Amino acid sequence: MTDTIARPETSSGSGSASAAPKKTKHKGLGIDRRPGFLTYGILIALFAGGTYPLWWSVVVGASPSSVLSQDWPPLLPGGQFWENVAVVFDTVPFWQALLNSVIVSTIITVSVVSFSTLAGYAFAKLRFRGSNGLMVFVVATMAIPTQLGIIPLFILMRQFGWTGSIGAIIIPTLVTAFGVFFMRQYLVDVIPDELIEAARVDGANMITTFWNVAVPAARPAMAILSLFTFMMAWTDFLWPMIVSPQNPTLQVALSQLQSARYIDYSVVLAGAVLATLPLLILFVLAGKQLISGIMAGAVKG
C-alpha cells in the first residue's frame, strides 16, 4: 500500500523551477508585479528633479555670493550658512514674522478643516432642497482666479479697519471651496447610509451623528487637507503683502531681503531655507497620516 501512494516531486531542478515563478507572479495570472528598471529610473529622476532646487538653495545659502559667478557651481554647501542667517536676522524681523506665520497658518488650517468637514458631510449625506445646485456653485467658484477678488477684499478690509493686522489675512480664507469639495467626495463613499440611519434609530441627533460617525471616518482625509492647507497658508505671499505689510508673515518679511539695489542671493536663499524647514518637519511628522489617508481613499471594500 505504501508503494502506491503518490509522493511529491523532490527533484531540485523541477521543484525550484516551478516554485520560483509563483513568488513573483500574481496568483496564476502570469503577470510579474515587481517594479522594473524603468520604474526605478523614473522615480529616481523625479526625486532628483524635485529635490535639486532645495539642495541648490542650501548650497548657495551656505556659501558666499561669489559662487554664483563661477563657471562650475559647487555641489556641496560651504561653511558660511550661519553667517548668512545672522544677516537675515539683522535685516528683517524674522522671529515676529515666524510667529505671525505660525498663528495665521494654524488658525486657517483648523478653520478650513472644521468647516470643510461640516459642509462636506452635509453635501454628501444630508438630503435638502438645492443641495446639488449649491454644490455646483461651490465647485464653480474654484474656476474664478483669486486675483479677481483681491481689490474688493482689500476695500472691505479697509472699511472694517483691519488692514495691517493678521486678522485681515485670516478672515478671507477661513473656508475654501476646494476643502468642501474634497471632503464631500471623500465622505460620500466612506460612510454607509445604513450607519447614519442606525445612529438615528439609536436616538442620536445630527451633531452627535456627525461627531461619532462622520469625524472618525473622515480623519484620514482631514489629515491630508490639514497638510495641504497649512502648506498653502504658509507659502501665501500676495494677499499678506497687500493687506498687512506692516505686520508681515514670514514670506513677506523675507521679500525685504531683495528690496536693496544690490541683492545678496546667498542671504536670500539662506532665508528661504529657514522658511522651508518648518514645512519639511511637518511633512516628516505627518508622513504616516498622509500615506494612510491616501491608501484609505484608494482602496475600496
CB burial readout 190-216, b (16+ within 10 A) else e: bbeeeebeebeeeebeeeebbeebbee
- One-character DSSP codes across 226-290: HHHHHHHHHH--HHHHHH-SSS--HHHHHHGGG-SSS--HHHHHHHHHHHHHHHHHHHHHHHHHH
Q: What's the rounded mean pLDDT across residues 56-77? A: 82
**Would you give the distance in Å from CA 10 to the centre of its chain?**
55
CATH number of the domain that 139 lies in?
Answer: 1.10.3720.10
Nearest CA-CA partner of 86 in 221, 270, 265: 270
Residue range 126-141, pLDDT digits in tens = 888 888 899 999 999 9
Q: How far apart are CA 46 and CA 40, in angstroms?
A: 10
Q: What's the rounded mean pLDDT across residues 220-237? A: 91
Nearest CA-CA partner of 56 in 79, 76, 71: 76
Residue range 149-170, pLDDT digits in tens = 899 999 999 999 999 899 999 9
Residue range 2-50, pLDDT digits in tens = 444 444 444 444 444 444 444 444 454 555 577 778 888 998 999 888 8
Whether residue 170 lies inside any domain: the answer is yes
Which stretches within the chain are classed as H helix?
12-24, 37-61, 81-91, 94-125, 131-141, 150-160, 167-170, 177-190, 193-201, 206-209, 215-235, 238-243, 250-255, 265-298
Residue range 189-222, pLDDT digits in tens = 888 888 888 888 888 888 888 998 899 888 888 9
Q: How far apart are CA 243 and CA 34, in angstroms?
A: 53
Residue 131, amino acid: S
Residue range 247-256, pLDDT digits in tens = 999 999 998 8
- The total number of structural domains that make up the chain: 1
Whether residue 73 lies inside any domain: the answer is no
Q: How far apart are CA 55 and CA 59, in angstroms?
A: 6
Whether residue 237 lies inside any domain: the answer is yes
Whether residue 134 lies inside any domain: the answer is yes
Q: Are 112 and 179 in contact (CB under 8 A)?
A: yes
Whether residue 70 lies inside any domain: the answer is no
Packing angle, helices 177-190 and 215-235, rounded to 10: 160
Structural domain boundaries enclosing 203: 88-298
Whether residue 37 lies inside any domain: the answer is no
Length of the chain, in residues: 301
Q: How confident is the model at residue 179 (pLDDT cuts 50, 70, 90)?
A: very high
pLDDT of residue 265: 86
Average pLDDT across the chain, whole number: 83
Query: What does the block give as the cell for 273?
Result: 531655507
Query: Is the pLDDT score of 280 beyond 60?
Result: yes
Q: How far apart are CA 239 and CA 229, in angstroms?
A: 15
- One-character DSSP codes across 282-299: HHHHHHHHHHHHHHHHH-
pLDDT of residue 283: 83
The pair phi, psi for residue 49, each rounded to 5°, is: -70, -30
Whether residue 68 lies inside any domain: the answer is no
